Amino acid sequence: MSKFWSEKTRQLQPYVPGEQPKIANLVKLNTNENPFPPSPLVLKTMQAVTEDLRLYPDPNADRLKQTIADYYGLSREQIFVGNGSDEVLAQAFAAFFQGKQQLLLPDISYSFYPVYCQLYDVEARYIPLDEHFTINPADYYGAQAGVVFPNPNAPTGCILPLAQVEQILQANPDCVVLVDEAYIDFGGESAVALIADYPNLLVVQTLSKSRSLAGMRIGLALGQAELIEGLERVKNSFNSYPLDRLAQAGAIAAFEDENYFRSTCAKVIENRIWLTKHLSQLGFEVLPSQANFVFASHKNKTAVEIAAELRRHGVVVRHFPQERINNFLRISVGTQQQQQRLIEVLKEMLNP
Ligand code: PMP
């Protein structure tokens, strides 16, 4: 606390990102990164633009927007890009929800949303997930400020079928419904297909997960042109160049290398199935996941104890000290080798 801080700064409770431990030979399964490297085409394309780094990047990232537009069958005016989807989310909160009352969001969900609510003076109403940790669409009808949820949800991994996302859109024609699709490429059906029919739909995605580019910070939003124009106004009042030259070039290549994208997503899904099966055999309850992580709880040992013991063996997973999910661990899908190590340590711990 400092006397120089504004009243707002004093009141902030910032988001705490998952740990990036500096331990050698770590099995890192705590922040949902992709276990596979980015496409070789991404690295080659980025190398080719290094000579231009003395020049500012394109402030509008037009080539990247066009690539994404072509990929999804949209127009360039329907695409917004930012420095990671966290930034895109922040700008969406500023553009559509700032100062409003009654933004509806699930009680168990991405823990950055409450931080943005505080930053942009949005009054949130948290709606409990049902006993299966799923969203009940009817709970989100008739929102005043808007609706936000990840699909698949995080940290549960559970998907809301597209028909139910559409029910929420239909029931909220006068406010924005933001669907955060950070994990959609690992098995879910994207709401992008609904953009033409719903002027209130904003879909947010990221290249951090399914395209293995968490370290480059590239996020995007897709929606009808008027929504996107609102985001551009906010962005151009804050930072004209959120995506650097390397990020723009690499992101284009990531969308162009469709085969690599498909094959790595398929491997992640295959590993998720393996992980779910082996955790279940060890007595874990594993929620049905369509993401690149699973959410699991053990019947005999607390999540806190398991996480601490895993860590002593160089395996890190994520625990959220929050009511209802206090006994769950979020475990990112890893390589086969990482997952085998995890299961080996768990076996020793649970069946000594
Ligand atoms: N949304 C959700 C639901 C997430 O879990 C994450 C990852 N922490 C993000 C958005 C942000 O991802 P990034 O900023 O890397 O695009």
List, by residue range, all CATH 3.40.640.10 domains of the chain. 40-257
- Tell me how far the alpha carbon of residue 351 lies from the centroid of ligand 1, in angstroms: 35
Q: Whole-model pTM?
A: 0.97
| Closest CA to ligand 1's atom 6 | 182
What is the model's pLDDT at position 314? 94
- Tell me how far the alpha carbon of residue 338 lies from the centroid of ligand 1, in angstroms: 22
Contact 300, 292 (CB under 8 A): no
Task: Map residue 105 onto helix, strand or coil.
Answer: strand
What is the model's pLDDT at position 19? 80
- Report the alpha-carbon distance of residue 228 to residue 81 in Å, rounded: 10
CATH architecture of residue range(s) 40-257: 3-Layer(aba) Sandwich (3.40)
Ligand 1 mutation target, pool 88, 110, 179, 220, most atoms within 8 A of CB: 110
What is the model's pLDDT at position 24? 80
> Phi/psi of residue 79, each to 5°?
-120, 135
- Tell me how far the alpha carbon of residue 3 lies from the centroid of ligand 1, in angstroms: 33
Which residues have any ligand 1 atom within 6 Å of their CB? 84-86, 110, 150, 154, 180, 182, 206, 208, 214, 219
- Tell me how far the alpha carbon of residue 110 lies from the centroid of ligand 1, in angstroms: 8
Give the orientation angle of helix 62-72 with respect to helix 245-256, to 10 degrees.
20
What is the model's pLDDT at position 17? 86
Ligand 1 mutation target, pool 206, 220, 243, 295, most atoms within 8 A of CB: 206
- Tell me how far the alpha carbon of residue 122 lies from the centroid of ligand 1, in angstroms: 20
Ligand 1 mutation target, pool 31, 81, 86, most atoms within 8 A of CB: 86
List, by residue range, all CATH 3.90.1150.10 domains of the chain. 7-37+259-350
What is the model's pLDDT at position 276? 98
Ligand 1 mutation target, pool 20, 31, 109, 112, most atoms within 8 A of CB: 112
What is the model's pLDDT at position 20? 84
3-class SS shares of the chain: helix, strand, coil, % to 5: 40, 15, 40
**Which residue stretches of the chain are H helix?**
7-11, 40-48, 62-72, 84-92, 113-119, 162-170, 225-235, 245-256, 258-281, 303-312, 336-350
- Report the alpha-carbon distance of residue 242 to residue 82 in Å, rounded: 6
Task: Map residue 89 onto helix, strand or coil.
Answer: helix
- Tell me how far the alpha carbon of residue 34 lies from the centroid of ligand 1, in angstroms: 12
What superfamily would CATH give domain 7-37+259-350? Answer: Aspartate Aminotransferase, domain 1 (3.90.1150.10)
- Report the alpha-carbon distance of residue 114 to residue 107 in Å, rounded: 10
What's the CA dihedral at 87, 90, 94, 96 to 10 degrees?
100
pLDDT < 70 stretches in the chain:
352
What is the model's pLDDT at position 352? 60
End-to-end alpha-carbon separation of the chain, Å? Answer: 48
Ligand 1 atom nearest 17 alpha carbon: 8
| Closest CA to ligand 1's atom 4 | 182
Contact 80, 220 (CB under 8 A): yes
Ligand 1 mutation target, pool 31, 81, 85, 88, most atoms within 8 A of CB: 85
- Tell me how far the alpha carbon of residue 162 lies from the centroid of ligand 1, in angstroms: 20
Ligand 1 atom nearest 206 alpha carbon: 16
